Amino acid sequence: MSGHGARGLHIAILGSGAAAMAAALKATEDGARVTLIERGTLGGTCVNVGCVPSKILIRAAHIAHLRRVSPFDIGLRPHHPARAAARAAAIAGR
Protein backbone atom coordinates (compact mmCIF):
# COMPACT_ATOMS: atom_id res chain seq x y z
CA MET A 1 0.00 0.00 0.00
CA SER A 2 2.93 2.35 0.59
CA GLY A 3 2.98 5.09 -2.00
CA HIS A 4 -0.56 4.33 -3.19
CA GLY A 5 -2.47 6.76 -1.02
CA ALA A 6 -3.31 4.50 1.93
CA ARG A 7 -4.29 7.57 3.98
CA GLY A 8 -8.03 7.70 4.31
CA LEU A 9 -8.39 4.03 3.37
CA HIS A 10 -10.49 1.90 5.74
CA ILE A 11 -9.85 -1.85 5.57
CA ALA A 12 -12.00 -4.64 7.03
CA ILE A 13 -10.11 -7.84 7.86
CA LEU A 14 -12.02 -11.08 8.44
CA GLY A 15 -10.50 -13.19 11.19
CA SER A 16 -7.87 -12.37 13.78
CA GLY A 17 -5.18 -14.98 13.33
CA ALA A 18 -1.50 -14.33 12.66
CA ALA A 19 -1.99 -13.29 9.02
CA ALA A 20 -4.81 -10.92 9.96
CA MET A 21 -2.68 -9.28 12.62
CA ALA A 22 0.24 -8.87 10.22
CA ALA A 23 -2.06 -7.32 7.61
CA ALA A 24 -3.59 -4.98 10.19
CA LEU A 25 -0.18 -3.83 11.42
CA LYS A 26 1.06 -3.14 7.90
CA ALA A 27 -2.11 -1.30 6.96
CA THR A 28 -2.00 0.93 10.04
CA GLU A 29 1.70 1.62 9.50
CA ASP A 30 0.75 2.90 6.05
CA GLY A 31 -1.97 5.12 7.50
CA ALA A 32 -5.09 3.06 6.85
CA ARG A 33 -7.86 2.55 9.39
CA VAL A 34 -8.50 -1.14 10.16
CA THR A 35 -11.50 -3.04 11.47
CA LEU A 36 -10.98 -6.67 12.54
CA ILE A 37 -14.07 -8.87 12.27
CA GLU A 38 -13.89 -12.07 14.31
CA ARG A 39 -16.72 -14.51 15.01
CA GLY A 40 -14.89 -16.29 17.81
CA THR A 41 -12.08 -15.54 20.23
CA LEU A 42 -9.46 -13.03 19.15
CA GLY A 43 -6.18 -14.62 18.16
CA GLY A 44 -7.28 -17.43 15.89
CA THR A 45 -6.71 -21.17 16.13
CA CYS A 46 -2.95 -21.14 16.65
CA VAL A 47 -3.03 -18.83 19.65
CA ASN A 48 -6.07 -20.32 21.38
CA VAL A 49 -6.24 -24.05 20.67
CA GLY A 50 -3.41 -24.99 18.34
CA CYS A 51 0.29 -24.20 18.33
CA VAL A 52 0.68 -22.10 21.46
CA PRO A 53 -1.29 -24.22 23.97
CA SER A 54 0.26 -27.46 22.67
CA LYS A 55 3.78 -26.03 22.95
CA ILE A 56 3.09 -24.96 26.53
CA LEU A 57 1.86 -28.45 27.43
CA ILE A 58 4.82 -30.12 25.69
CA ARG A 59 7.26 -27.85 27.55
CA ALA A 60 5.56 -28.54 30.91
CA ALA A 61 5.72 -32.30 30.27
CA HIS A 62 9.40 -32.02 29.33
CA ILE A 63 10.20 -30.15 32.55
CA ALA A 64 8.23 -32.67 34.60
CA HIS A 65 10.19 -35.49 32.95
CA LEU A 66 13.51 -33.78 33.67
CA ARG A 67 12.55 -33.30 37.31
CA ARG A 68 11.47 -36.93 37.69
CA VAL A 69 14.70 -38.36 36.28
CA SER A 70 17.01 -35.88 38.01
CA PRO A 71 18.92 -37.28 41.01
CA PHE A 72 18.97 -33.76 42.48
CA ASP A 73 15.24 -33.00 42.54
CA ILE A 74 13.01 -34.91 44.93
CA GLY A 75 10.13 -32.43 44.81
CA LEU A 76 8.05 -34.04 42.04
CA ARG A 77 6.34 -37.32 42.84
CA PRO A 78 5.19 -39.81 40.19
CA HIS A 79 1.69 -39.17 38.86
CA HIS A 80 -1.04 -41.62 39.86
CA PRO A 81 -4.17 -41.05 37.71
CA ALA A 82 -6.49 -42.96 40.07
CA ARG A 83 -5.40 -40.89 43.08
CA ALA A 84 -5.69 -37.67 41.08
CA ALA A 85 -9.25 -38.58 40.01
CA ALA A 86 -10.25 -39.43 43.59
CA ARG A 87 -8.80 -36.15 44.85
CA ALA A 88 -10.60 -34.18 42.12
CA ALA A 89 -13.89 -35.91 42.99
CA ALA A 90 -13.39 -35.15 46.69
CA ILE A 91 -12.70 -31.48 45.97
CA ALA A 92 -15.71 -31.22 43.63
CA GLY A 93 -17.97 -32.78 46.27
CA ARG A 94 -17.20 -30.12 48.89
Quick: pLDDT tens for 27-81: 999 999 999 999 988 888 888 888 888 999 999 999 888 888 888 877 666 667 7
Whether 21 is in a domain gets the answer yes
Q: Assess whether 87 and 55 both reside in one domain.
A: yes
- Is the C-alpha dihedral spanning 63, 64, 69, 74 positive or negative? positive
Q: Assess whether 62 and 84 both reside in one domain.
A: yes
| Domain range enclosing 15 | 10-43
Total domain count, the chain: 2
Q: Assess whether 39 and 59 both reside in one domain.
A: no
Q: Assess whether 54 and 80 both reside in one domain.
A: yes
Whether 4 is in a domain gets the answer no
Query: Do the Cβ atoms of 41 and 17 come closer than 8 Å?
Result: no
Nearest residue to 31 via CA among 10, 52, 6:
6
Whether 75 is in a domain gets the answer yes
Specify the pTM: 0.51
